[in-house]
């Protein structure tokens, strides 16, 4: 399909942009990428003119805009079904895991914002954040298929949704169970993610972490 452009935020900090970009980059779709600088006086107006959510990622398609990382992931999977596990139950679990990430883990997200340029340094985690870290590892343990280093055998969209989490655990030097640490190492060593990370490390924009 021609005519796809993904709008992303700053690669260093925009975790939802990373998820949408990974979904497309791992698919067989070709797309252009455009960066909309976050945290500028114009950001909201620029994004509001393009979508009702005024957020990135946003995928421009010939049929119109698709906002929201989960919808963009599903769009990629419409064209590249291998992005979800082939087994129906595994596929449902992968979707549940993405949905849980998409709608939860607020304390972890608040206290440990993604910052790809941060040198690993621990922070005193709040009780709520510690619970999120525990729940994240429990989630991974409960859905893991046991086939290979990813959650569901081959790389899937679930892994896209947890790559920013692996980055947060790296940046805040969070202590993990060995299996969770091994999973994070797999995500952070992924070749596609490394392309994003390299560009994020080169960014020099003023960045607001929230």
Ligand X SMILES: N[C@@H](CCC(=O)N[C@@H](CS)C(=O)NCC(=O)O)C(=O)O
> Is residue 162 within the footprint of ligand X (CB under 6 A)?
no
- Planar angle of CA 140, 143, 109, nearest 5 degrees: 35
125-144 in b/e form (b: 16+ CB < 10 A) is beeebeebbeebbebbeebb
Task: Reply yes or no: is the peptide bond before residue 123 cis, omega within 30 of 0.
Answer: no
Q: Which of 21, 26, 59, 69 binds ligand X (CB under 6 A)?
A: 69
CB neighbours of residue 192 within 10 Å = 14
Pairwise CA distance, residues 9 & 167, whole Å:
17
> Is residue 56 within the footprint of ligand X (CB under 6 A)?
yes
> Is residue 38 within the footprint of ligand X (CB under 6 A)?
yes
> Is residue 14 within the footprint of ligand X (CB under 6 A)?
yes
Instruction: Between 144 and 196, name the residue whose CB sits nearer to ligand X.
Output: 196
Q: Which stretch binds ligand X (CB under 6 A): 37-45, 73-81, 183-191, 193-201?
A: 37-45
Instruction: Between 21 and 180, name the residue whose CB sits nearer to ligand X.
Output: 21
Can you tell me whether residue 124 is helix, strand or coil? coil
Instruction: Between 9 and 85, name the residue whose CB sits nearer to ligand X.
Output: 9
Residue nearest to ligand X (CB): 55
Q: 178: which residues sit within 8 A by CB, 6+ positions away?
A: none
Helices then strands, each counted (H, E), the chain: 9, 4
Q: Measured from the CB of residue 15, what is the shortest distance to ligand X in angstroms?
A: 6
Instruction: Between 57 and 85, name the residue whose CB sits nearer to ligand X.
Output: 57
Instruction: Between 84 and 180, name the residue whose CB sits nearer to ligand X.
Output: 84
Write out the residues near ligand X by the rule CB under 6 A: 9, 14-17, 38, 43-44, 55-57, 68-70, 102
């Amino acid at each position: 399909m021609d005519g796809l452009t993904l709008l992303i935020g700053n690669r260093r900090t925009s975790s939802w942009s990373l998820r949408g970009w990974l979904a497309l980059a791992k698919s067989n779709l070709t797309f252009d990428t455009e960066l909309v600088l976050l945290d500028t006086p114009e950001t909201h107006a620029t994004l509001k003119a393009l979508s009702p959510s005024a957020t990135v990622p946003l995928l421009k398609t010939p049929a119109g805009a698709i906002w929201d990382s989960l919808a963009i992931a599903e769009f990629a999977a419409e064209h590249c079904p291998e992005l979800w596990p082939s087994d129906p139950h595994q596929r449902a679990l992968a979707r549940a895991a993405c949905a849980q990430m998409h709608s939860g883990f607020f304390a972890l997200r608040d206290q440990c914002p993604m910052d790809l340029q941060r040198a690993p340094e621990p922070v005193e985690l709040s009780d709520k954040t510690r619970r999120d870290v525990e729940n994240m590892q429990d989630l991974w343990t409960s859905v893991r298929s046991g086939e290979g280093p990813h959650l569901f055998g081959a790389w899937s969209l679930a892994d896209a949704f947890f790559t920013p989490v692996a980055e947060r655990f790296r940046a805040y030097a969070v202590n993990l169970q060995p299996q969770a640490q091994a999973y994070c190492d797999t995500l952070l060593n992924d070749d596609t993610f490394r392309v994003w990370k390299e560009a994020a490390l080169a960014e020099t924009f003023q960045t607001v972490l929230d």
